[in-house]
Amino acid sequence: SGRSADGTGAPRPLYMDVQATTPLDPRVLDSMLPYLTACYGNPHSRTHAYGWESEAAMEKARRQVADLIGADSREIIFTSGATESNNMAIKGVARFYKSRKKHIITTQTEHKCVLDSCRSLETEGFRVTYLPVKKNGLVDLKELEAAFQPDTSLVSVMTVNNEIGVKQPIHDIGEICRARKVFFHTDAAQAIGKIPMDVNDMKIDLMSISGHKIYGPKGVGAIYVRRRPRVRLEPLQSGGGQERGLRSGTVPTPLAVGLGAACEVAQQEMEYDHKRISQLAERLVTKIMSEVPDVVMNGDREHRYPGCINLSFAYVEGESLLMALKDVALSSGSACTSASLEPSYVLRAIGTDEDLAHSSIRFGIGRFTTEEEVDYTVQKCIQHVKRLREMSPLWEMVQDGIDLKSIKWTQH
Amino acid sequence: GAVGNALSRQVVDHYENPRNVGSLDRNAKNVGTGLVGAPACGDVMKLQVEVDENGKIVDARFKTFGCGSAIASSSLATEWVKGKTVDEALQIKNTDIAKELCLPPVKLHCSMLAEDAIKAALADYKLKQDPNKKEAEKKA
């Protein structure tokens, strides 16, 4: 609907990249508008109605976030997004307990902000274990258990992976960590509002939340910090002591309100969305795989969130397929890694051959994705994969019965 | 022109209106075949030339596994070699290909691979014309 604002005037592509970001749910926008217009008070202003009304809205939003994950309001801290929340959880906890605890466990498939926070801690003298994952993308629980050391302070494992959609065994990991009295943090940016999450059921001690992955605004997120047993963390940001001293800075009321509304809407829509998205995902995968040979789904078939589908199309390079599918907005691997020339580190961690890693596309199905959009995407995908294979020297060699692994390729 | 990561119109054109995609008979004496790159790198180009008895390239074909810029670079290479002599074709520079396609810095290696592909195809053709030279080189 409408034309692109990029100067070309071309019609807007279909949006199939919900793991990168989501549009605002109209109900979320409605809830934010008063706080972007007449109700512009600072929520920390204690002396007048502008402040009081802003504070009330912020606290309501806090409750909405807490309700979605089975937490108490007092355990929700607003941040600028999941990146900040991840930084706070990892660096904050590590540094607070550093006199007695110097070891952290995480996985090789975490989001860059988790991995980079860990690397940063290594330069401060902490030790980090980056657990490998199995070919299906899931953590091996035995390897996790073996990785604990007497001075482990934190385990960080994301709930749903943003590139391949696999869902980690969070219940089991929570049990393992609680039994050893080690804090368990999960980056739930791609999970909350899409699958049921309960911090007590799952024995989660810290959780990162992102607004713009759940039809909320960009620029806001939250971190859940357990009160019983108490998790302490060293703040990253110093200032006036807002958010229980853990995150100074004026809470952006319109954004917080948007995050709260997004959480409440997600809670209402979760079951319906999940069912509809599962059906659409099944439709997409079945149609593509029945028409096109040599397609691999990356990540476990069962333990996944259905709305994130990562497929490798052998003998076709991913970027060329994205170019061919110009009227569909998709991505090849994570946006964060696209600036480098390396294929996705997540695909490398699950053991994908490098040529297949270059051939991967991520399809995102969301709350507003229609069946027509899925069918159009499928049709174009099939058409252009076939066309690109006709242009592929690799496909030609395979058709001629040549084993590609036997070729001595040139280096450059 | 290219805005940020957007592909240039020329690059997209080479995919949407392909020219010279396909294969020549690699066993023919006057056909040279070059295969460069590696699947693990995400870039493989096969470029073939057909040369007449006067040393002029009369036909060229390509197949590429790679991004849009790689496809466009190899496609443009086949367009440019046609009508040139073998020695003239060896003068084609990757910088000219990159300029014609408005390739951003991050895609310059695609034009370099296309230049490699031209040279590999012509080297293969030359080798086929002079098998004695091949024997001499083997002994050396």
Q: Where is the domain boundary, A227, A247, A266? A: A266
B18 close contact with A: CB closer than 8 A:
yes
B79 with B20: CB under 8 angstroms? Answer: yes
Residue A312's Cβ-side half-sphere holds a number of Cα atoms within 13 Å equal to: 24
Candidates A178, A191, A158, A13; CA nearest to A89 is A158
At A311-351, the pLDDT tens digits run: 999 999 999 999 999 999 999 854 444 556 677 999 999 99
Task: With beta carbons under 8 A apart, name residues in chain A contacting B70.
Answer: 317, 320
Instruction: Give the bridge partners for A183, in sequence order.
Output: A154
CA–CA separation, A177 and A145 (whole Å): 9
Q: Which amino acid is at A365?
A: I
Q: Which residue in B38, B45, B65 is closest to A315 by CB distance? A: B65
CA–CA separation, A358 and A339 (whole Å): 14
Q: What is the pLDDT of residue A102?
A: 98
CA–CA separation, A106 and A279 (whole Å): 33
- CATH code reported for the domain at B9-127: 3.90.1010.10
A391 and A259 co-located in one domain: no
Residue A35's Cβ-side half-sphere holds a number of Cα atoms within 13 Å equal to: 26
A107 and A208 co-located in one domain: yes
| CATH number, domain with residue A48 | 3.40.640.10
CA B87 to chain A, closest CA, distance in angstroms equals: 23
Band of residue B137 on the pLDDT scale cut at 50, 70, 90: low
Q: Tell me, what's the ipTM?
A: 0.92
A341 and A256 co-located in one domain: no
Domain limits for position A217: 26-266
A337 and A381 co-located in one domain: yes
Candidates A363, A355, A344; CA nearest to A409 is A355
At A153-185, the pLDDT tens digits run: 999 999 999 999 999 999 999 999 999 999 999
At A233-259, the pLDDT tens digits run: 999 999 999 999 999 999 999 999 999
Q: Do the strands B31-38 and B57-65 form a parallel or antiparallel pair, or are they unpaired?
A: unpaired
pLDDT at B133 over 70: no
Candidates A191, A132, A124, A133; CA nearest to A153 is A124
pLDDT at A53 over 90: yes
Q: Which two tokens stand for residue A188?
A: 């739930």
Helix pair A49-69, A253-291: axis angle to 10 deg:
30
Q: What is the DSSP letter of A250?
A: -
Which strand (E) or helix (H) includes residue A275?
A: helix A253-291
Task: With beta carbons under 8 A apart, name residues in chain A contacting B66.
Answer: 317, 320
CA–CA separation, A103 and A100 (whole Å): 10
- Residue numbers of A annotated as active site: 336
Percentage of chain A exceeding pLDDT 90: 92
A9 lies in a domain?
A: no
Q: What is the pLDDT of residue A25?
A: 98
A312 and A279 co-located in one domain: yes
At A19-31, the pLDDT tens digits run: 999 999 999 999 9
Task: With beta carbons under 8 A apart, name residues in chain B contacting A316.
Answer: 65
A364 lies in a domain?
A: yes
Omega before B105 within 30 of 0, i.e. cis: no
A3 lies in a domain?
A: no
A293 and A157 co-located in one domain: no
Q: What is the pLDDT of residue B134?
A: 57
Q: What is the pLDDT of residue A338?
A: 54
A16 lies in a domain?
A: no
Q: Residues B67-85: what's their mean pLDDT?
A: 96
A255 and A308 co-located in one domain: no
B42 close contact with A: CB closer than 8 A:
yes
Candidates A326, A325, A314; CA nearest to A357 is A314
Distant-in-sequence, close-in-space partners of A139: CB < 8 Å, separation ≥ 6? A107, A131, A133, A157, A168, A169, A173
- Taking an 8 Å cut-off on Cβ atoms, the answer to whether A392 and B109 are in contact is no
A74 and A194 co-located in one domain: yes
Q: Which amino acid is at A339?
A: A
A239 and A358 co-located in one domain: no
From residue A308, alpha-carbon distances to A95, A163, A297, A304, A354 in Å are 34, 7, 11, 8, 21
pTM above 0.90, yes or no: yes
B55 close contact with A: CB closer than 8 A:
no
A93 with A128: CB under 8 angstroms? Answer: no
At A120-136, the pLDDT tens digits run: 999 999 999 999 999 99
Q: Where is the domain boundary, A237, A266, A295? A: A266
Count of the separate structural domains present in chain A: 2
DSSP H helical segments within chain B, as ranges? 9-16, 68-81, 86-89, 94-101, 108-129, 131-139
Percentage of chain A exceeding pLDDT 70: 97
A253 with A43: CB under 8 angstroms? Answer: yes
Q: Which residue in A354, A355, A391 is closest to B64 by CB distance? A: A391
3-state SS string over A89-120? HHHHHHHHCCCCCCEEEEECCCCHHHHHHHHH
Task: With beta carbons under 8 A apart, name residues in chain A contacting B39.
Answer: 354-355, 358, 394, 404, 409
CA–CA separation, B114 and B78 (whole Å): 9
- Taking an 8 Å cut-off on Cβ atoms, the answer to whether A410 and B40 are in contact is no
Q: What is the pLDDT of residue A335?
A: 45
Q: What is the pLDDT of residue B5?
A: 64
The number of beta carbons lying within 10 Å of the beta carbon of residue A178 is 16
At A278-318, the pLDDT tens digits run: 999 999 999 999 999 999 999 999 999 999 999 999 999 99
| CATH number, domain with residue A307 | 3.90.1150.10
A281 and A258 co-located in one domain: no
Q: What is the pLDDT of residue B72?
A: 96
Which strand (E) or helix (H) includes residue A267?
A: helix A253-291
A237 lies in a domain?
A: yes
CA B126 to chain A, closest CA, distance in angstroms equals: 19
Q: Where is the domain boundary, A266, A297, A315? A: A266
The backbone torsions φ and ψ at residue A191, rounded to the nearest 5 degrees and listed phi first, read: -110, -40
A116 and A195 co-located in one domain: yes
Minimum Cα–Cα distance from B65: chain A residue: A392
CA–CA separation, A223 and A231 (whole Å): 12
Candidates B43, B44, B49, B45; CA nearest to B26 is B49
DSSP H helical segments within A292-335, as ranges? 318-324
The backbone torsions φ and ψ at residue A34, rounded to the nearest 5 degrees and listed phi first, read: -55, -35
Q: What is the pLDDT of residue B70?
A: 95
CA A175 to chain B, closest CA, distance in angstroms equals: 40
